[in-house]
Amino acid sequence: MALFDLPLDELRTYRGESTEPEDFDAFWDETLRQARAHELDVRFEPVETGLATIEVYDVTFAGFGGHPVRGWLRLPAGTTEPLPLVVEFLGYGGGRGLPHESLLWASTGRAHFLMDTRGQGSGWGGGGATADPVGTAPAYPGYMTRGIEAPENYYYRRVFTDAVRAVEAARAHPLADATRTVATGASQGGGITIAVGGLVPDLVAVAPDVPFLCDFPRAVTLTDRHPYREIALYLRTHRGRSEDVRRTLSYFDAVHFAARGRAPALFSAALEDETCPPSTVFAAFNAWGHRDKAIEVYDFNDHEGGGPFHEAEKIRWLRSHA
């Protein structure tokens, strides 16, 4: 795929097409207040993996609605003092996988918490373990239109709330240094990372890679690749619902969370990315509220972005932050 979006010089100033709701902060304050009315009820159960260098804990905590959410906590073997904490969120359709997977961040000497995404985990990888017990109105297959009839019912209200509670759960472990917490993730995980960056004020850094869930109005009309295509296909059937859908999505647009970001940030974008078009990524990056921010641009890559090259860049960058 050749370059299809705005030229790079225009990307660097592009601000997005989504209008922020007037009650955006009130909506999220109330959502998190309701979630915190439930005990966090976090549990860490050691797992036998056969690994010599990494210890793994099976984690359960109470997310949105008090629903149980799963995750893995990985620590360098023999850890006795609190370590910097990396909280990671997953790409669309994936689950937390098996305990011996995803060893990168613990291998750098950090505590690593990987949140399972509710209702997902059957599209790729080693599978998921967290149900989404909330029913919704008719939706297009996938997750993008579940509950899209109203912000209160939308699927990502539950996911973003789970993610904030995941940070709280990971910080509850005695070997995680809560004062040195980083959020990261790619694609859907990148969008969740930005949301967490806007909702959790005391992170030390965030690193969203080729993030999804940014600048919905442009994304839905620019690309015909899934998952954004789910929204267009829903509207193809539910004629006349465009404004209602746009309103719902405005409460979940990562651009608006980015404006509330208070930590240093390292983004990445790929200029041939049709899944998460670069203009939508730059809309969030340009809105990011902390002045210490950078974006790595991968000129001839699609949604894989920088892949292992960007992992190496994140390892280098995080040495200055956590």
Whether 75 has a pLDDT exceeding 90, the answer reads yes
Using alpha carbons, select from 96, 53, 48, 37 the residue that is nearest to residue 72: 96
273 is catalytic: yes
244 is catalytic: no
The percentage of residues in the chain with a pLDDT greater than 90, rounded to a whole number, is 94
- Taking residue 154's Cβ as centre, other Cβ atoms within 10 Å add up to 23
Whether 50 has a pLDDT exceeding 90, the answer reads yes
* Mean per-residue pLDDT, 199-205: 98
Whether 38 has a pLDDT exceeding 70, the answer reads yes
Task: Give yes or no for a contact between 98 and 194, defined as CB atoms under 8 angstroms apart.
Answer: no
* Adjacent-strand bridge partners of 87: 113, 183
Using alpha carbons, select from 90, 53, 84 the residue that is nearest to residue 71: 90
**What is the three-class DSSP state of 321?**
coil
Task: Give yes or no for a contact between 250 and 21, defined as CB atoms under 8 angstroms apart.
Answer: yes
CATH of span 8-318: 3.40.50.1820
The percentage of residues in the chain with a pLDDT greater than 70, rounded to a whole number, is 100
pLDDT of residue 1: 59
Per-residue pLDDT reduced to its tens digit, 147-190: 999 999 999 999 999 999 999 999 999 999 999 999 999 999 99
Using alpha carbons, select from 232, 309, 231 the residue that is nearest to residue 268: 309
pLDDT of residue 124: 80
How crowded is the C-beta side of 58, counted as CA atoms within 13 Å? 12
pLDDT of residue 136: 80
Whether 320 has a pLDDT exceeding 90, the answer reads yes
pLDDT of residue 125: 87
302 is catalytic: no
pLDDT of residue 140: 81
Backbone angles phi, psi at 278, to 5 degrees: -60, -30
Cα angle 118-124-129, degrees, rounded to a multiple of 5 = 35
Catalytic residue selected from 187, 250, 268, 279: 187
> Mean pLDDT for the chain?
97
Catalytic residue selected from 18, 177, 273, 279: 273
Per-residue pLDDT reduced to its tens digit, 113-146: 999 999 999 888 898 999 999 988 888 889 999 9
Per-residue pLDDT reduced to its tens digit, 22-35: 999 999 999 999 99
